[in-house]
Amino acid sequence: MKRRVYSFFVLFFAVTIAFTFSFADVVSAATYTVKSGDTLWEISKRHGTGPTAIMKANKLKSPMIYVGQKLQVPDQYTHFVNYGDTLWLIAKKHGVSVTQIIKYNGIKNPGNLYVGQVIKIPKQTNSGNSSKGSAKVEQLIKAGLKYVGRPYQLGASSSQTSTFDCSSFVQRAYRDIGITIKRSSRSQYSSPPGRVIKKSELRRGDIVFFDYMRDGRIDHVAIYYGDNKLLHTYRAKGVEVGAFSSYWQTRYVAAKRIIE
């Protein structure tokens, strides 16, 4: 009898451990702590998904959230399925193949995704892809640097390069290397291409968004130059490489990566 009971507990323990690690591998994502003023809509936009997707992934019964609440949100290696998502769109967004996603997640029915489903993104280890990305980033920086000193003009036309405002400058730098992005800083953040990244993941060539008016809205954008510097244009200084100073640090909102 004792031997039977002992065997049962050994089996139960082994199954529990296996299930725990398997479950953790499938659903782990970034943890976000809700701050004062946050809404589920703003959090979802910041992380490139939808409020319903976050609700379902966190098993929330309503969109009401509270300060200090811990939420699982998408990060570099996770994607919360949103309305309209397909494996092709998800793969394109993260720079991997549909086949990689299917194999990595063990998906048996690729055409049957559901809102809130957590898709794990395989890590890219191909150094060739990395070198291509680095070369493209340097093209971007070079494209931006050739405009250093051009005057700032609010609402500058995107069809000319004699003057720039912050978003027309970023748009032009990307256009010069064959990448089309939206005109305004807010639409550059909210619309494709690219994916939202954490501040700790910032690297040369990423786009950085700010709220310099501190009114809760994005109103400035820059290209991260590296070494804690920004390539951007801001009022009287015109296009410059300036410090990512405490002024900008306290007005930081989000960052986005277009060149992988």
Spell out the residues 6+ positions from residue 3 whose beta carbon is closer than 8 angstroms to its own: none
Of the candidates 198, 199, 258, the one whose C-alpha atom is nearest the C-alpha of residue 29 is 198
Cβ(165)–Cβ(153) below 8 Å: yes
Cβ(71)–Cβ(58) below 8 Å: yes
Task: Indicate the pTM of the whole model.
Answer: 0.54
Paired with 152 in beta bridges are 164
What is the per-residue pLDDT across 205-242, written as a single tens digit (0 to 9) for each?
A: 999 999 999 999 999 999 999 889 999 998 888 999 99
Of the candidates 167, 166, 179, the one whose C-alpha atom is nearest the C-alpha of residue 140 is 179
Of the candidates 210, 214, 215, the one whose C-alpha atom is nearest the C-alpha of residue 189 is 210
Q: Fold for domain 2-120?
A: Membrane-bound Lytic Murein Transglycosylase D; Chain A (3.10.350)
Domain ranges, ordered by start, for the chain: 2-120, 127-257
Helix (H) or strand (E) holding 87: helix 87-94
Residue 49 is predicted with a pLDDT of 87
Of the candidates 152, 158, 220, 163, the one whose C-alpha atom is nearest the C-alpha of residue 186 is 220
Residue 246 is predicted with a pLDDT of 93
Residue 132 is predicted with a pLDDT of 59
The beta-strand segments (E) located in 18-58 are 30-33
CA distance 10 to 110: 37
Cβ(256)–Cβ(206) below 8 Å: yes
The beta-strand segments (E) located in 149-219 are 195-197, 207-210
Helix (H) or strand (E) holding 257: strand 252-257
Q: Is the dihedral of CA 58, 123, 19, 31 positive or negative?
A: negative
Residue 3 is predicted with a pLDDT of 52
Low-confidence ranges of the chain (pLDDT < 50): 2, 5-27, 126-130
Residue 223 is predicted with a pLDDT of 97
- What CATH architecture is 127-257? Alpha-Beta Complex (3.90)
